[in-house]
Chains A and B, each alone.
Chain A
Amino acid sequence: MSVTELAKPVAGRPAPFRIALVGAPNCGKSTLFNGLTGGRAKVANFPGATVETRAGKFTTQSGHIVELLDLPGFYGMSPRSRDEVIALDMVKGTDGAAPDLLLVLIDAANLRTHLHSVLQLKSFGIQLIISLNMIDLARRDGLKLDIGALERELGVPVVTSQATRKAGREAVSAKLDAILNEGLERRAMPVEKPQSRPVKELQAAARAIIKKTVLAEPIFNQLTRKIDQVVLNPVAGPLILIGILLFMFQAVFAWASLPMDLIEAGISGLGNMVSGFLPDGWLRSLIVDGIIAGVGSVLVFLPQIIILFAFILLLEASGYMARAAFMMDELMARVGLSGRAFIPLLSSFACAIPGIMAARVVENERDRLTTMLIAPLMTCSARLPVYTLIIAAFIPRQSVGFMNLQGIVMFALYMVGVVSAIIVAFVLKRTLTKGQPQPLMMELPSYKMPNARDFFIGLWVRISAFLKRAGTIILGTSIALWFLVSYPSSATALKDSFAGRIGSVLEVILAPIGFNLEIAIALVPGMAAREVAVGALGTVYAVQGGEENVEGLASVLQSAWSLPTALAFLAWYVFAPQCFATLATIRRESNSWKWTAFSFTYLIALAYIAAGVTYHVARWAL
């Protein structure tokens, strides 16, 4: 039995009540959570949608402090995917204490379909409150129900809510307050495995309750029906999906260029300012050449990350993302994955880290592993500064048909990543991650206007995670690189510095694929984070010249590298697993050093082969 005590509001600082928000996916849990807590939540790490749990505090009318947990959506006692396992574990309190109360959210329009889950949750023995959410929409669609009767039949308090509005959340917080005033049993320990009746019986019981309490069922949401007639049309649907993706990637480049120029100008301005009042010496060199230039080279593509994530958040919040997964399912099934893998893979175009974490929505463990292994092949934004630099330096801006050659090369690099991912997944699913074809069971939510608060909170979570990375891994590697190229101070030429010595060892290995000493040196810090290589190349060539890099890195590279070397470098970057944070995420999510090592090894092998083939083919052909 769990040890419980009766907690009354007392003077001093009582421990907060722990309340978990549970319910099916897409019933508005995160919106209610953001509304009640004001979005001030601690997030363990990058979330996909809500693949990581969030905890936030708020105070009820009578002053009770509540810690609210926002759990991933789940349907029942038999979790389908990793995030459902996590949610269920949190409810049971497997790693500590179970929540004191479960706030169960149900989309009021889907009451009939989901009510049996309340009966299932009752078997945990934790006090419940039911909130019928999006009640306004359900009522507009014709729902009429007797809430008093529903409370009596379920034996559980029932309120209605409209999580997007303050007034719509009032009933929930008032009911919570009332329950806490009466005194709530505290759970100090995990609950035992609940003994629940078979689902079939629960469904029959739930349908009987519906019959007694629901006076009129709503009609199917007409807006959703109309939109789906176009969006899921077998011909128009895929065209719309392709159009949205093209527009999204186009926007990432077009809309980001002005803010990126501004950031770039700001960073070099800051560097000049600092140079102005620091005396020439190691400290100025560290701050200006090491820290400002290093971190700045990464901050510059913050606009691209923001735009890409903004699109992904809007697609998810509107309900479209599930449709995209639906349309992609058969295609993904051909390589042995499920349509659900589409969402993590799309996120990976911004950054593989949230992508790998979002793979938790994939229903099967082997499929999830495969998704995590191919996620790093999606062209993440960290590659863009490298691609942009090399393309600007080596690919002429000539037009080919209605496109220009630079754009075509960029597009080709994206496609090589995608096609390689397909091939790798195909091979893995027939060898290492072989298994039975897995089912797809996915609810397609009704379309909704994305909520502004949810949108900005979601975006901020991702931006802050990115900035945190810039402030830790990238700052660290920038300082380390600066040290490696600047010392020992007796070194007059780059090849005598520490970086030069490490690079000259690497050069032996990399020379066969066309890489020179400078590339080898830049790849030393570049192994920690891809984009650092740009700053590193700048440092390497600037230091080597013994003066500030004035003419732009691109033109320096033009004279220093041959075209085959530049192309080989691009090919290398499509594959090379140059990101500590991604490898750490794979390690944590797969809970396996073996798979982490496998991921690193296969990617670096592909990078070496691709760069080598590119180099030698280009030398022969050009």
Chain B
Amino acid sequence: MRLDHLPIGQQAKITAIDDAPMAMMVKLREIGFAEDDLVKIVHLGPINKTPLCIQLNQTLVALRRAEAAMIRVDPLS
């Protein structure tokens, strides 16, 4: 599943960051996104439900939907 499709509040594990241009993947990784880390969408922007406020481990990161779509996740039950 793509991170931008994850329901709000649903905990998930990152499985891959690969569906993106190289420079973008590097940037996503440098800010902290990595395989096996836990993510959850905690807030949405007030207009058009974007950007997404994502809790990555203990950190909050804002991404627009286009960037979130580059991260693949596995929802945890």
User: Interface of A with B (CB < 8 Å)?
Assistant: 75-78, 80, 109-110, 112-114, 116-117, 120, 141, 199-200, 203-204, 207, 217-221, 224-225, 228, 232, 234-235, 237-238, 322, 325-327, 329-331, 333, 339, 437, 439-446
| A109 CA to B31 CA, complexed, in Å | 15
CB pair B34–A218 under 8 Å, yes or no, is no
Task: Decide if B55 is an interface residue (CB 8 Å cutoff).
Answer: yes
Chain A residues lying within 8 Å of B53, measured Cβ to Cβ, are 228, 232, 326, 444
**Distance between Cα atoms of A440 and B54 in the complex (Å):** 12
A339 to B50, CA, bound (A): 11
Contact with B66, one of A203, A235, A437 (Cβ below 8 angstroms):
A437
Closest chain B CB from A87 CB (angstroms): 13
Q: Is B74 part of the contact surface with A, judged by Cβ < 8 Å?
A: no
CB distance from B44 to the nearest CB of A (A): 7
Q: Are A444 and B58 in contact (CB under 8 A)?
A: no
Q: Which of B42, B51, B55 contacts A330 (CB 8 A)?
A: B51
Q: Which residues of B contact A199 (CB under 8 A)?
A: 26, 29-30
Q: Mark B24-57, 1 if CB is under 8 A from A, else 0.
A: 1011111110111100001111111011010111
Q: Which of A217, A220, A221, A225 has the most CB of B within 10 A?
A: A220
- Determine the main DSSP class of B at the interface with A: mixed
**Which A residues lie within 8 Å of B57 (CB)?**
110, 112-113, 217
Known: A220-B55, A326-B62, A442-B61. A114 touches B32 (CB 8 A): yes
Query: Contacts A78-B23, A110-B59 known; A441 to B31 CB distance under 8 Å?
Result: yes
**Which residues of the other chain, A, contact B44 by a CB distance below 8 angstroms?**
234
Contact, CB under 8 Å: A444 / B66: no
Partner of A76 from the list B30, B43, B45, B55 (CB cut-off 8 Å) is B30
| Cβ-neighbour of A75 out of B30, B50, B56 (below 8 A) | B30
- The count of residues in chain B whose C-beta lies closer than 8 Å to any C-beta of chain A is 35
Please, how many angstroms separate the alpha-carbon atoms of A235 and B44 in the complex? Answer: 11
| B26 engages A327 (CB within 8 Å) | no
- B58 contacts which of A75, A203, A218, A329 (Cβ < 8 Å)? A218
With both chains docked as a complex, state the minimum distance between the C-beta of A240 and any C-beta of chain B, in angstroms.
11
Dominant SS at the A interface? helix
In the complex, the chain A residue whose C-beta lies closest to that of B42 is: A228
Query: Which has the most chain A C-beta neighbours within 10 Å: B37, B57, B60, B66?
Result: B60
* Minimum distance in angstroms from B18 CB to a CB of chain A: 10
Inter-chain contacts of A237 with B (CB < 8 A)? 46
Chain A residues positioned under 8 Å from B46 (CB to CB): 234-235, 237-238, 327, 330
Best-buried of B28, B31, B46, B64 by chain A (most CB within 10 Å): B46
CA distance A405 to B36 in the complex (A): 60
* Contact (Cβ within 8 A) B47 A330: yes
Residues of A within 8 A of B56 (CB): 113
| Residues of chain A contacted by B62 (CB below 8 angstroms) | 322, 325-326, 329, 339, 440-444
> Taking the nearest CB of chain B, how far is it from the CB of A198, in angstroms?
8
Given the known inter-chain contacts A238-B46, A326-B45, please indicate yes or no for A440 contacting B58, CB distance below 8 A: no
Indicate if the CB atoms of A441 and B66 lie closer than 8 Å.
no
CB-nearest residue of chain B relative to A221?
Answer: B58
Q: List 23 A-B contacts (CB under 8 A).
A: A75-B30, A76-B27, A77-B30, A110-B57, A110-B59, A120-B30, A204-B35, A219-B58, A221-B58, A224-B60, A225-B42, A232-B43, A326-B43, A326-B45, A330-B46, A330-B48, A331-B47, A339-B51, A441-B31, A441-B61, A443-B31, A443-B60, A444-B53
Cα–Cα, bound, A109→B64 (Å): 24
Distance of A80 Cα from B26 Cα, bound (Å): 11
Given contacts A80-B27, A199-B29, A203-B34, contact A444 B60 (CB under 8 A): yes
Beyond A113-B32, A326-B51, whether A78 also contacts B27 by CB under 8 A is: yes
One of A224, A238, A441 near B27 (C-beta < 8 A): A441
- The CB with the most chain A CB atoms within 10 A, among B24, B28, B29, B45, is that of B45
Q: Are A444 and B27 in contact (CB under 8 A)?
A: no
Instruction: Verify B66–A75 contact, CB threshold 8 A.
Output: no
Contact of A441 with B28 at beta-carbon distance under 8 Å, contacts A112-B37, A326-B45, A330-B47 already known: yes
Bound complex: CA A339 to CA B7 (Å): 24
**For the complex, what is the distance from the CA of A324 to the CA of B66, rounded to whole Å?**
20
